[in-house]
Structures are given as C-alpha cells and as structure tokens.
Amino acid sequence: MHSAVVTLAFAAAVSATPTFEQIITGVAGFSEAFQYPNFINISASGNYTGFADNIVGRLDITDTYTGSELFTEYVFGLFTTMAEKAAKNETILIGYPQNQTVVSLGIEPPMAFASSLALFNWGPIGLVPVQIDSVLRYDDNGKVTQWDGVMRRFAWTASTLEPALAASVRAELNISGTDREVLQRRAAIDICAAHTQYCTGANVQYASQNACLDTMINDKTFGEWYQIGEDSVICRYIHTGMVAYRPAVHCPHLSVSGGGMCRDRSFAVDATTQFALPMIGDNSLAALTALAGSRLVGRTGGDNSLAASTALAGSHRRRR
Ligand SMILES: *[C@@H]1O[C@H](CO)[C@@H](O)[C@H](O)[C@H]1NC(C)=O
Ligand SMILES: *[C@@H]1O[C@H](CO)[C@@H](O)[C@H](O)[C@H]1NC(C)=O
Ligand SMILES: *[C@@H]1O[C@H](CO)[C@@H](O)[C@H](O)[C@H]1NC(C)=O
Ligand SMILES: *[C@@H]1O[C@H](CO)[C@@H](O)[C@H](O)[C@H]1NC(C)=O
Ligand SMILES: *[C@@H]1O[C@H](CO)[C@@H](O)[C@H](O)[C@H]1NC(C)=O
C-alpha cells in the first residue's frame, strides 16, 4: 500500500506547477508588501500583483472576499486607512503591520503554509505582536488564487488592549464612559464623517450625519472582536477608508443593513464552508487519494481531487 502512495506522489511532483521557486517568491513578496509603508502604494495601485484576478480570500475575523481588487482593499487598503488615522494622532481601533517575519513555512506546490509574526503599530498604544497564519493556494502563474487566513489570538489581543485604547479615546475626545462606550463613539465619529464626505448622491445611506451617529451609537452594537464581519459598529469602522476608493461598492457597508457585508452570519455555514479547489499540496493529495481509495472511504476512480477533499471536508462546499 505504501509503495502505491510513493509512486503517486512522485508522479505528481514531476509536473508541479506553480514551481517551488514561484511560490517562495510569492511568499517573500507578500511579506515585504504587507509592511509599513509598502502597503500604502499597493493600496493606491488598486490590485496587488501577487493576487490572481479571481482570488478568493477569507479572514477568520471578518469575511470572504472575491476578486483581486476587493481583496486588495481589505488586505492593504484597510491598513492604509489605519496608518493615515494614526498619522493624524487619532486612536485607531485596529493596528497596522509595521513589519513582520515569516516564522513558519511549508511549501508543497501549489500550496504554501506560512505563519508571520508581525508587529502591529496601534498608534498611541504602541507596537503589539500579531501572528497571522495563512494557507495559500497558488495558480500556474505563481499568484495566490485561494487564501485562508487566521489572525491568531486576535480577539484576545484586542480585548487586552481595550482599556488602553479606551483611555486614549477619552483623552483624545474628552469624553467619559465605559471602555466599550468610548470605543463605539470613536468608531461612530469616523464612520459618519466618512459617510458625509464620500457617500454622496446615489451612495447616501443616512439622511444626515446625526442620523448616522444615532444609528451607530444607539441602534448597533460595537461587536465582539471576532465580529468584524458582522452587523457591528466595528465592521462598519473598517470600511471608513474603503468608501474613498469605491463609494458605490463600500457605502452600503456603512448602512443600517450593512450591505451584505456587515450582517448577521450563520456559524454553521461559516464554520463548514470550504474553498472550491482543495487546499492540499499535489503530492499530499495524490497520497491521500490513494489512502482514501483503498481504506478510508473504500472507493477508487472518479474525480480524485473531489474524493480526497470531500473525505476531508465533508460535503458542504461553496462553489464560487
Ligand atoms: C510610493 O510611491 C511614491 C510615488 O511613486 C514613491 O515616491 C515612494 O517611494 C513609494 N514608496 C514606497 C514605500 O515604495
Ligand atoms: C483591478 O483589476 C480589475 C480586474 O482586472 C479591474 O477591473 C480594475 O479596474 C482594477 N482596479 C484598479 C484600481 O486598477
Ligand atoms: C520591527 O520594528 C520594530 C520597531 O521599529 C523593531 O524594533 C524590530 O526590530 C523590527 N523587526 C523586524 C523583523 O524588522
Ligand atoms: C496625541 O494625542 C494625545 C491624546 O489626545 C496627546 O496627549 C498628544 O499630545 C498628541 N500628540 C501629538 C503629537 O499631537
Ligand atoms: C472636557 O470636557 C469637560 C466636561 O464636558 C469640560 O469641562 C472641559 O472644558 C473639556 N476640556 C477640554 C480640553 O475641552
């Protein structure tokens, strides 16, 4: 049985595309790009060159994004917004990557697993370590086509910072209130100022800045730190810079409904949704298929990739 696995594994390795070199170049390039100030120019370019046009990117604390332009906005544009706010001495509720080091890495075409230990610059709070785990699938051109990212311990990190963030907001805005109340007010002011400035004409979501503030402060919850992609104020806050790039796309994300982005989510759906293509290296997939065919699921033939990934992930698959 093992010899069958080895044979399949070597067969897959012969024609590996993308190559190991393409992938390591991609990983190193992203690591360089995702640092201050490099991400600012990439954000301005609109499309990060390391992303495939049809990339599907998922970040555990937010959402799943389809297409290079949208994903570039969330990966690079969001942090550009935070860096700009910090430069104006505003308390930022989300830090931005000052620099980072790849601390874990495995590459088996077309996949890479990379974990980066970043130092996030949280403005007045200082530098905070944030580890980001990424499972990446590359296409034949060496561009990322599927990205599954986890901000390790992010909710713990942000909760730990909350008292210091709140103290900074109280000093900045000269207001009082509980930690959550002042963070919510800081976010509401940013959201509604961005709405007034960029969401005009057909993109208007609120009748006035006060109507917007009323919604953010009295109707919506600030949200937990794992709910940055839910019907929360913190979700709308991350869109404060994006409305400048593409108002028609992002202004609805500030709205009462959340425009399909800042919305209630189903845990069952999010927790079981898989990518369209297997997130498994070619050699591993061949080996796994051989195992699955002979002992795990007791079937052979048919679509090997589908059999292996179905055996692993169950049948809840979202096609995009
Ligand atoms: C960003 O672009 C500007 C204008 O092209 C350039 O002067 C600057 O050096 C670039 N910054 C970085 C970090 O690449
Ligand atoms: C990014 O790429 C997409 C697809 O190729 C294109 O439609 C869009 O205009 C590009 N965006 C920018 C800002 O260049
Ligand atoms: C990241 O930046 C901090 C603060 O400037 C510095 O102390 C640290 O050495 C840098 N780390 C890397 C890996 O560049
Ligand atoms: C930044 O804001 C804090 C708190 O509001 C204030 O104490 C500090 O002096 C400000 N720094 C600058 C450079 O304006
Ligand atoms: C801060 O707010 C208090 C109470 O509203 C007010 O008395 C005080 O003058 C304010 N301080 C500044 C610097 O605006």
The confidence score (pLDDT) of residue 294 equals 57
User: Does the Cβ of 192 fall within 6 Å of ligand 3?
Assistant: no
Domains of the chain with bracketed CATH: 13-154 (3.10.450.50), 175-277 (no CATH), 280-313 (no CATH)
45 lines ligand 3 (CB under 6 A): no
Phi/psi for 56 (5° steps) reads -115, 115
Q: Which ligand is nearest to the CA of 143?
A: 2
Whether the pLDDT of residue 4 is over 80: the answer is no
Residue 12 contacts residue 285 (beta carbons within 8 Å): yes
**Alpha-carbon distance values, 208 to 152, 191, 200, 236, 262 (Å):** 38, 12, 11, 17, 20
CA–CA distance, 85 with 101 (Å, rounded to integer): 25
Q: How far is the CA of 1 from the centre of ligand 3 (A)?
A: 49
251-283 pLDDT tens trace: 999 999 999 999 999 999 999 999 999 999 999
**Which ligand sits closest to the CA of 43?**
2
Give residue 100 CA to ligand 3 midpoint distance, Å.
8
Quick one: pLDDT at residue 308? 43
Given a contact cutoff of 8 angstroms between Cβ atoms, the answer to whether 236 and 213 are in contact is: no
* pLDDT at 292 (0 to 100): 77
Q: 171 C-alpha to center of ligand 4: Å?
A: 9
Q: Ligand 2 centre from 48 Cα, in Å?
A: 10
Does 160 sit in the ligand 4 pocket, CB within 6 Å?
no
Helix (H, G, I), strand (E, B), or coil: what is residue 131?
Answer: strand
Q: How far apart are CA 251 and CA 259, in angstroms?
A: 8
- pLDDT for 291 equals 85
* 87 C-beta closer than 6 A to ligand 4: no
pLDDT(153) > 90: yes
Provide the CA 258 distance to its chain's centre, in angstroms: 18
Q: Whose CA is nearest to atom 5 of ligand 3?
A: 98
148, 58 Cβ separation under 8 angstroms? yes
What pLDDT band is residue 13 in, cutting at 50, 70 and 90?
very low
Query: Structure pTM?
Result: 0.86
pLDDT tens column, 202-217: 999 999 999 999 999 9
Q: Measured in angstroms, how far is the CA atom of residue 41 from the centroid of ligand 1?
A: 6
Give the distance (Å) from ligand 2 centre to CA of residue 249.
Answer: 14
User: Ligand 3, atom 11: nearest CA belongs to which residue?
Assistant: 99
For 181-193, write each residue's pLDDT tens digit.
999 999 999 999 9
| CB-CB neighbours of 248 under 10 Å | 11
DSSP class of 91: P
Beta bridge partners of 136: 112, 147
166-175: long-range contacts (C-beta < 8 A, 24 or more apart)? 168/91, 168/123, 168/124, 168/125, 169/91, 172/89, 172/90, 172/91
**Closest by Cα among 169, 36, 181 to 95:** 36
CA-nearest residue, atom 8 of ligand 1: 41
For the CA of 127, the closest atom of ligand 3 is: 4
Q: Is 287 buried (19+), middle (13-18) or exposed (0-12) by CB count in 10 A? A: buried
pLDDT score, position 87: 96
